[in-house]
């Protein structure tokens, strides 16, 4: 039979020697590897006291951004929901009413914006698809919980605090 690649190895089918039959050398070799690992530096981290450094490309919780004047950047175009492969983002658009110019940048805004974090795969496609830089993935780790309702983040949970209201409160 002709070989397809050069990676094949011929198997040695010779009978085992007495030393190989009693498995003592194999056991000693395994024990030496185990003893070698005992004296190496441990890979575990004592979590509450020490925090593991994250990769620079780590993607954490989603955040809805505001502009310099504190208005919401999201125009409810729906590109983030279309780009999401897990279909974790749902939104409903509404039109801005007279007198709400200080709340929203454009005539259209997201009246309802939800992300189901149980479906989210943290791929970052929503961040890349947004033309207004309204959504980005922060470096915050998602908190653990036991109930499903805490993993559906609404618009109020995702929006960063209003910068002007925050300054006046201090």
49 touches 86 (CB < 8 A): no
> Residue 62 pLDDT > 70, yes or no?
yes
Q: How many other C-beta atoms lie within 10 A of the C-beta of residue 11? A: 5
Task: Count Cα atoms within 13 angstroms, Cβ side, for 156.
Answer: 0
Is pTM, for the whole model, over 0.85? Answer: no
In sequence order, the 6+-apart residues with CB closer than 8 A to the CB of 113 are 64, 74, 76, 89, 90, 91, 154, 155, 158
pLDDT score, position 42: 82
Quickly state the pLDDT bin for 11 (edges 50, 70, 90): confident
Computed over every residue of the chain, the mean pLDDT equals: 88
Q: Annotated binding site for [4Fe-4S] cluster, which residues?
A: 74, 77, 80, 84, 120, 123, 126, 130
Domain boundaries, the chain: 62-160
pLDDT score, position 157: 92
Q: Annotated binding site, which residues?
A: 74, 77, 80, 84, 120, 123, 126, 130
Burial class of 116 by CB neighbour count within 10 A (0 to 12, 13 to 18, 19+): middle
- Classify the C-alpha dihedral 130-133-135-138 as positive or negative: positive
What is the rounded average pLDDT of the residues 34-60? Answer: 87
Tell me how far apart the alpha carbons of residues 100 and 109 are, in angstroms, rounded to a whole number. 11
Q: Which fold would CATH assign to domain 62-160? A: Alpha-Beta Plaits (3.30.70)
Give residue-wise pLDDT tens across range 88-110: 999 999 998 888 877 887 889 89
- Kindly calculate the radius of gyration of the chain based on its CA atoms and give it in whole angstroms: 28
Give residue-wise pLDDT tens across range 125-152: 999 999 999 999 998 888 899 999 999 9
């Amino acid at each position: 039979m002709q070989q397809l690649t050069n990676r094949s190895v011929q198997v040695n089918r010779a009978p085992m020697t007495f030393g190989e039959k009693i498995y003592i050398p194999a056991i000693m070799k395994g024990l030496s590897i185990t003893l070698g690992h005992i004296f190496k530096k441990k890979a575990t981290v004592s979590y509450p006291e020490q925090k593991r450094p994250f990769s620079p490309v780590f993607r954490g919780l989603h955040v809805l951004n505001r502009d310099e004047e504190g208005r919401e950047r999201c125009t409810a175009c729906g590109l983030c929901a279309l780009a999401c492969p897990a279909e974790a983002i749902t939104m409903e658009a509404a039109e801005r009413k007279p007198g709400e110019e200080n709340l929203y940048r454009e005539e259209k805004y997201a009246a309802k914006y939800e992300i189901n974090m149980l479906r989210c795969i943290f791929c970052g496609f929503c961040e890349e698809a947004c033309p207004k830089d309204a959504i980005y993935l922060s470096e915050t780790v998602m908190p653990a919980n036991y109930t499903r309702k805490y993993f559906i983040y609404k618009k109020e949970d995702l929006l960063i605090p209003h910068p002007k209201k925050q300054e006046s409160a201090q």
